[in-house]
Structure 1
Amino acid sequence: MLPIHFLPATTAGAPGITMQSKNTAPQRLTWDEDDESRSARWRSESGNPPPKRVVIGHDQMTADIAYRLACEGTAILWRGDFQNARQLLQAMARRIDDKPRKAKKKPATAPSPIDAFNLHRLAQSQRARTLAMLVLPLDEHYAIPLRRAPNVQQACEEAYGPPSDEASVVSLREVLGLVGAHEWRKKGVEIGAVGGRIHPYYGVFSPVRGEYIDLVANQPLPAKQLAFDIGTGTGVLAAVLARRGVERIVATDVDARALDCARENIGRLGLDRQVEIVEADMFPEGRAPLVICNPPWLPARPSAAIEHAIYDPDSRMLRGFLDGLAAHLTPGGEGWLILSDFAEHLGLRTRAQLQEWIDKAGLKVDGRIDIKPHHPRATDKSDPLHAARSAEVTSLWRLVAA
């Protein structure tokens, strides 16, 4: 997000698992302008409530004033030039990012990994809330009625659905995220193991971290008749299994965007006859000789709906997969759990705790293969979580009924 680049739904975390569906009534933003009271539908994919205070922003507004207003929780409804708004947002982001460097004192001792994680999340949440205070109007057709505004209608339709003939207001930061997600969806991500590109939808984690795909692509298959892919997301792991010759794969998810995304990707790759995409909470009916799952890796509460791809409160999905696995394996079948140990390095979960859950589920570990992540953040020493990221290992755990 620095001059500002966005991934669809996604930050770092557990690819293949998507955010949960939301069924909330539309909220409205109200403000006074030109001596009259106005209102419009409030849009926020992060689940932020509409700000209570609103001022009108114009091209003469300075970054210092905008930053102060945003820190106070006052929204700035922009009426000036779109490109000037982008520059203003970047200037506000610089003020946030430069602030720690001006601190007079450093703590006497380094924070523990879990404290560093909590402080980092708090800082990221505060940063996101502050930058979300710069908001834009959208007309009833998703056009931005500002000078030099780009055409964002298709990006909005992909995220929000067809226009509803109702004007709305959305943060500039979210609009840039929609545009970035649209470009990812259009371009796709080249995945060698599927022999083509995976096109992620907005809100569905993009498979930009390839190590977990390599694990599934290289592990010997226990059988080729049938496999279940739990929490399929973009459908990338189902596609990997199909390319490896698995005759039938049932891939599940609960998120509507993920289901549509997976179906489109499987169709693009010509794998419709092998892969069936099913709406299900965790497991489909029946048993299979191979069941794979790549749950969110961090047992913490998401601060926004879109973060369900990363955070699994109380490890609910991980434990749900483990608890239900034995009942969905055929005799001699294997469950493949793809999991990073990042949470262990942060002090959020221990290896002993994971082993205890495996034992209680009536499972045993029949093998494990590990791989080191090769994403840029693993070597970024300026990252506050660098120590944990540099030690991270992603594993494929082969689980069988005890």
Structure 2
Amino acid sequence: MMQWQENGELFFARWHSENGILPHKRILISDDTLTADQAYRYACEGTAILYRGDFQNARQLLQALVRRVERPSKKSQRLEKKNSVSPAVQNPIDIFNQYRLSQSQRARILGMILVHIQADHTIPLRRAPDVRQACQEVYGTQTQSYVVSLRELLGVISAHEWRKKGVPISLGKGGEIRIHPHYGVFSPVRGEYIDLVLNAPLPKALQASSTAFDIGVGSGVLSVLLASRQIERIVATDQDDRAMICAKENIERLSLANRISVEKAHLFPQGKAALIVCNPPWLPARPSSPLEHAVYDPGSQMLKGFLAGLKDHLLPGGEGWLVLSDLAEHLGLRSREQLLSWIEDADLKVIDRMEIKPRHPKASDSTNPLYVARSREMTSLWRLAPR
């Protein structure tokens, strides 16, 4: 719960943070009279701002904070220039850690503008949009008012729009479908790994048993791709409730529920399959929030678990497809030798490895702190089989 003083009266409301941030202790009630410089100073000092003015002005204030966060002070610019080291000389792990630290600090400051929302998901601010459906999808039914950061709320609204219109997925000659991602579920916007799954040669074992497992189903996109390749029965697993709901909705929307089932499981379902596909989080680092679990796999636990259990769940002649970026290798977070040793320890062999260059904007953005690593990144589909 959060509490604050306003007009001599004590108020209470439920605090909600998808990133797991604790309720703020210092809260300033403010409106459209607050300047961006004042808001930035308060946010840097750890004082949250509960906004009582115009909703559109609050959005503009948040954008002003973004500009101030991304514009270093003259003093910090001088220090950075004095202590600068070429990215090629810097330790990649240090670059990555600095990047994550700066992202964390950025998120903390930008999360200091708060919005009070009624139990029916309406916002009592001038020119506030109707966000009832978007908030219902993420926060569910509420019995009392609650407070969220404006930044999180805008993310909820954006996710709702993506959920409505969907992400176009090309099936090559099979046409195009749309996958509708939910809030907190990784969106299939990186098309290169989709191309790999569409074009990899299918194992001959599918001719005897047309079955596949999709480990870590997410939005359900890989299960749908496997179905488009005429695999008759697919069992998809995940541990995240949001991912399972998202995948089921996409599968039902595409009329594939008779061929694809979704189960809650840690990695593998019961039984064996001719093909097992896994696209684990690509970076072995600790997530700083629940929303980062789709990106970060601490200690490569999911990756190692998939490799260790793969052999026991494959039918004779079957294959495991591991979809993985080598960005972690270029960041110094994991070596190729480590990956190969885990494959060998699991009594597996590499049949083939298909590679493709990422096409996302960050791969060519020279201003991105991780550009050196991203410019060298390759996404691979490892075809694995028992030795």
- TM-score, normalised to structure 2, is 0.95
Deviation at 1:289, TM superposition (A): 1.0
* 1:305 and 2:298 aligned: no
**Greater per-residue helix proportion:** 2
Match of 2:376 in 1: 391
1:167-195 CA distance string (max 9 Å, x none) = 00000000100000000000101111273
Alignment partner for residue 327 of structure 2, among 330, 333, 342?
Answer: 342
Distance 2:282 2:289 in 1: 16
> Where do 1:152-301 residues align within 5 Å?
152-162=131-141, 164-193=142-171, 195-222=176-203, 223=206, 225-301=210-286
Distance 1:54 1:108 in 2: 37
1:233-292 CA distance string (max 9 Å, x none) = 111000000010001000111111111111111111111111111111110001111000
Deviation at 1:109, TM superposition (A): 2.1
Deviation at 1:161, TM superposition (A): 1.4
Distance 2:2 2:48 in 1: 10
Match of 2:302 in 1: 317
Question: How many percent identity over aligned positions?
Answer: 60
Question: For 1:125, what is the secondary structure of its paired residue?
Answer: helix
Deviation at 1:100, TM superposition (A): 6.2
Alignment partner for residue 137 of structure 1, among 106, 109, 116?
Answer: 116
Distance 1:108 1:337 in 2: 38
Match of 2:103 in 1: 124
Match of 1:93 in 2: 66
* 1:109 and 2:88 aligned: no
1:120-142 CA distance string (max 9 Å, x none) = 10000110011111000000101
Deviation at 1:157, TM superposition (A): 0.7
2:188 maps to a residue whose letter is: P
Distance 1:246 1:378 in 2: 33
Distance 1:165 1:287 in 2: 45
340-349 or 103-112: bigger deviation: 103-112
Match of 2:3 in 1: 30
1:334-383 CA distance string (max 9 Å, x none) = 00000000000000000000011111111111111000001111100000
Match of 1:10 in 2: none
Cα pair distance change 1:214/1:385, threshold 3 Å: same
34-43 or 312-321: bigger deviation: 34-43
Segments of 5+ residues of structure 1 without an aligned counterpart are 1-27
How many equivalent pairs are there? 374
- TM-score, normalised to structure 1, is 0.91
2:268 maps to a residue whose letter is: F
* 1:64 and 2:43 aligned: no
2:41 maps to a residue whose letter is: R
Question: For 1:104, what is the secondary structure of its paired residue?
Answer: helix
Deviation at 1:113, TM superposition (A): 1.3
1:167 maps to a residue whose letter is: S
